Structure 1
Amino acid sequence: MHSILFAIAVLIAFGLRWAIRCWPGGLSWSIALGFFALPPLLLITTSMAIAWMGCGWMFGFPASMGSHFLAWLFLLWTAVCVANLTWQTWQTLAAVKVHPLADWQGQKIRLLDTPFPYSAQVGLWSPELVVSQGLLKLLSPEQVNAVLAHENAHRFYRDTWTFFWLGCLRRLTFWLPETESLWQELLWQRECRADRHGAKNCDPLLLAEALALVSQNSIVANPIPLAVPFSGQQDRLLARIDHLLGFSITPDSHRLASWVGSFLLLVIAILPLILIPLHIK
């Protein structure tokens, strides 16, 4: 019986991912997040329920040892994915922390001594703001402030923490269809959201100019293992600039919608756990 439950979870996961190909119109943040995160979360909670129940009887059918082993194997793979990404994040943060702290108009930054134009929040819940010498030399002070407004928006939304866990789900279910396309969509939504929030504290034109300049000058090899979103994807960058310049600043209800969507996603994902009381040992 447990094997049937796991097979149903796998079929639902594939069905949800295939359904994205028929989705009308563009994807909002909450829709993209649902299609990306719900399939692996269902697989995880189904495996947790099966592992907890163990062998026995359910709905009058025997639960085999094979399904119990498969559930533990999937949970072990989940733990490996989390541990691996945790190790890589720790290595990146350690590489950043060897660089000196500096002050930029009242903000503490980690200053990278490299011509590569770069800025990012690096870490998890309380990330470090990292800025390279190349960025400070390339941009005017006003443009640098616009870039930092964008980076502070990532901290406001806790994007480093959120995308750490989404990155774990990505590695866990790389074999599901549309995983990479949905991951790129979420990266796109994340950057546009940070642009919108940052535009409240700076001139959007300054931020758009900074994005264009950084893209044109990002030809030096990256000296430490830092990810650069949309590097080599000129069409994505141009679309992002168009989105930024065409965006009119309005009261931000996006964060509330994200919280509501995340809560509903969590409720659906934990549904397999309600099967535990139905199991008889």
Structure 2
Amino acid sequence: MATTLKKSDALRQQQNEIDDYAVYTRLAHLAREEENRELLRQIAAEELEHYRFWEKVTGERLQARAWVVGLYLFLARLFGLSFALKLLEKREEGAEDFYRQLFDTYPEAKTIYAQEMGHEKKLLGMLKDKKLLYAGAVVLGMNDALVELTGTLSGIALAFDKSTVVGITGLIMGIAASLSMAGSAYLEARENPAEGLEPATYALYTGVAYILTTVLLVGPFFLFTHTLPALVLMFAAAVAAILAYNFYISVARDEPFWKRVREMALVTFGVALISFAIGYAVRNWFGIDI
């Protein structure tokens, strides 16, 4: 049975197609590897064909929205091509169902649907993105900082009820640990070389991820006089970091988001709870009141 197509729906899809064409075209200019540039040009050509199909249906000409193109260019520069393109692909998932409903009304929709489902995803999966090679380094630095510092800060906060003391102690420990982690990451990458992986860059990603996480977790202790509100804000920051990082990985690597969040949160807060209990026991056993 033929589906009645509303012009507003057609115009919305037409707008998405021209937006996608502009995004892929601009990203092709930014790509350093010739293979990536060619893949992006192929995808852009498909999106332009899809737009022209809708232009015939609606009889209207549209321009790409500058803010949409700018957003995806920003994400590509910051997080890499794979993340930006796969996020764009997730936005297009609704379009696949839309095209499937139009098979009887517009035979061309079958070709577009096949391209959206198959060829485009295959191309995106073939993209070579160096930033993804270093995702393991970010995991190493960020996860280690989350586990160690939430646990350490929780224990110290129960032993010493002065936020500044806890903050300074955590900052010193975090900086020292980041240098240690960066050195270990360098040696690990050198001893276990991977294609396209630079040991120095791997170490830099690890160290920077550790330091940034340290600043995020320690910061609250310089904002409050007492440790309790600082601890609450620290845990909120840790949750935000876990959500943000796992959102990136789930998009870039097509991995389950909530499963990763649960695992990382369980380890992080499990260690923090144990350290919290140790700090409480130490404070009461030695009668510390600082």
TM range (shorter): 0.3 to 0.5
TM-score when scaled to structure 1?
0.39
Q: Of the two, which has the highest radius of gyration?
A: 2
Higher strand share: 1
Structure number with greater CO (CA < 8 Å, separation at least 6) is: 1
